[in-house]
């Protein structure tokens, strides 16, 4: 008898004339089977690469995300989260200033959950930055919930949230290509926060995320091409922020904050993050990245009515940041 998962490979792989996109329902069912171990390893490899060649549609992505969200075993009475922040790329040209943006928001009462995985070799990821700052990553969903309740901030690794999705991400070194899993994990939003921000690198995926968010009826989501593929505003370039909010699509162009580009950070010294927070050093690019990213987050959460007011509020928050906050949430 034919394997139940074979139908999805057939749909995708019948050649130029016979292949079709998966429906929303079929995508959800296919990913549910994958995450529950019902697909053979050979089928999984074939499925991932067929999807990679054609690229996932918004409907397929929405179905995949539904299945992924349903697969995460979340305990009851989770802490409320205001902002979900995915981090799956890693940085190699500039420090991960987005960490200070997230902590700035948390220090002002915004409950932030970050989740992510290690980026490619040679990249610095959020977990590396938190370790340098002396901040623990969560060892379980319950641990993340407790951290949010106590400090308004938590970072949980994907391997803790979903070992199976982490395993699929790790297949990149075996297959040589990214897979739909790299797109899915950015939309996990495991605590069902009313707002989320997503960073992408590859062109076109911003619109796919935006449309998938509409299908999923997420409250408010913003996606943009961030520095290195992270959800971090690059102050040297114009930034198109695509939002899906309350059933409507909206695009905003955030202008570059500098007239000329900054050079690559050759040192990538993570100790500068703490020094920047404590006012012991000044970094023109870093401060602009922190404020610019914070402004996008404020706009996504509906805490600013336009770009100018979002940037003004971000600057006010930075000038009035609680310096001691960083020390209070250390290990």
Q: Mean pLDDT over residues 62-78, rounded?
A: 92
Percent of the chain with pLDDT over 90: 93
Q: Is the predicted pLDDT of residue 145 greater than 70, yes or no?
A: yes
The mean predicted confidence, pLDDT, of the chain is 96
Distance CA 239, CA 256 (A): 7
Q: Mean pLDDT over residues 109-118, rounded?
A: 96
Q: Would you state the pLDDT for residue 307?
A: 98
Sheet holding 239-245, edge to edge: 153-157, 112-116, 83-87, 195-200, 220-225, 239-245, 248-254
What are 1-11's pLDDT values in tens digits? Answer: 899 999 999 99
Q: Would you state the pLDDT for residue 119?
A: 67
Q: Is the predicted pLDDT of residue 16 greater than 90, yes or no?
A: no
Q: What is the DSSP string of 139-201?
A: SSHHHHHHHHHHHSEEEEEHHHH-HHHHHHHHTHHHHSS--HHHHHGGG--TT--SEEEEEE-
3-state class (DSSP) for residue 253: strand
Bridge partner list, 222: 197, 243
Q: Is the predicted pLDDT of residue 324 greater than 80, yes or no?
A: yes
Q: Is the predicted pLDDT of residue 215 greater than 80, yes or no?
A: yes
Q: Would you state the pLDDT for residue 77?
A: 86
pTM over 0.75: yes
Distance CA 268, CA 270 (A): 6
Measured from the Cβ of residue 303, the count of other Cβ atoms closer than 10 Å reads: 16
Distance CA 117, CA 196 (A): 17
Q: Would you state the pLDDT for residue 86?
A: 98
Domains of the chain: 6-54 (no CATH), 83-328 (3.40.1030.10)
* Neighbour-count burial for 94-115, b at 16+ CB within 10 Å, e otherwise: bbbbbbbbbbbbbbbebbbbbb
Q: Would you state the pLDDT for residue 17?
A: 85
Q: Is the predicted pLDDT of residue 331 greater than 80, yes or no?
A: no
Distance CA 285, CA 62 (A): 36
Categorize the per-residue pLDDT at 120 as very low, low, confident or very high, splitting at 50, 70 and 90. Answer: confident
Burial class (CB in 10 A: 0-12, 13-18, 19+), 315: middle
Categorize the per-residue pLDDT at 185 as very low, low, confident or very high, splitting at 50, 70 and 90. Answer: very high
Q: Would you state the pLDDT for residue 180?
A: 94
H-type alpha helices, the chain: 6-13, 15-18, 24-35, 41-54, 58-71, 98-107, 126-133, 141-151, 158-161, 163-170, 172-175, 180-184, 205-216, 271-277, 284-300, 307-319, 325-328
Sign of CA dihedral 14, 204, 248, 315: positive
What are 154-177's pLDDT values in tens digits? Answer: 999 999 999 999 999 999 999 999
């Amino acid at each position: 008898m034919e394997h139940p998962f074979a139908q999805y490979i057939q749909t995708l792989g019948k050649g130029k004339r016979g292949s079709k996109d998966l429906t929303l329902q079929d995508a959800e069912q296919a990913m549910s089977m994958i995450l529950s171990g019902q697909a053979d390893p050979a089928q999984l490899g074939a499925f991932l690469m067929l999807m990679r060649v054609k690229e996932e549609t918004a409907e397929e992505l929405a179905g995949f995300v539904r299945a992924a969200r349903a697969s995460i075993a979340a305990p009851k009475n989770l802490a409320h989260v205001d902002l979900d922040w995915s981090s799956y790329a890693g940085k190699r040209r500039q420090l991960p200033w987005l960490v200070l943006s997230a902590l700035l928001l948390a220090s002002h009462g915004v409950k932030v959950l970050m989740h992510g995985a290690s980026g490619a070799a040679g990249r610095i990821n959020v977990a590396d930055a938190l370790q340098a700052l002396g901040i623990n990553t969560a060892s379980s969903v319950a641990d993340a919930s407790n951290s949010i309740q106590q400090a308004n901030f938590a970072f949980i690794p994907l391997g803790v949230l979903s070992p199976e999705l982490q395993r699929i991400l790790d297949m990149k070194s075996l297959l040589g290509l990214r897979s739909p899993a790299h797109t899915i994990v950015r939309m996990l939003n495991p605590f069902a926060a009313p707002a989320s921000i997503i960073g992408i690198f590859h062109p076109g995926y911003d619109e796919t995320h935006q449309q998938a968010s509409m299908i999923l009826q997420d409250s408010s989501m913003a996606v943009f091409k961030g520095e290195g593929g992270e959800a971090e505003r690059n102050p040297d370039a114009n930034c198109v922020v695509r939002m899906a909010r309350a059933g409507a699509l909206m695009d905003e162009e955030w202008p570059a904050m500098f007239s000329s580009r900054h050079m690559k950070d050759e040192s990538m010294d993570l100790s500068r993050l703490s020094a920047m927070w404590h006012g012991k050093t000044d970094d023109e690019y870093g401060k602009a990245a922190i404020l610019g990213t914070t402004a996008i987050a404020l706009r996504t959460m509906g805490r600013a009515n336009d770009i100018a007011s979002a940037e003004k509020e971000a600057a006010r928050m930075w000038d009035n940041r609680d310096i001691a906050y960083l020390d209070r949430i250390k290990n």
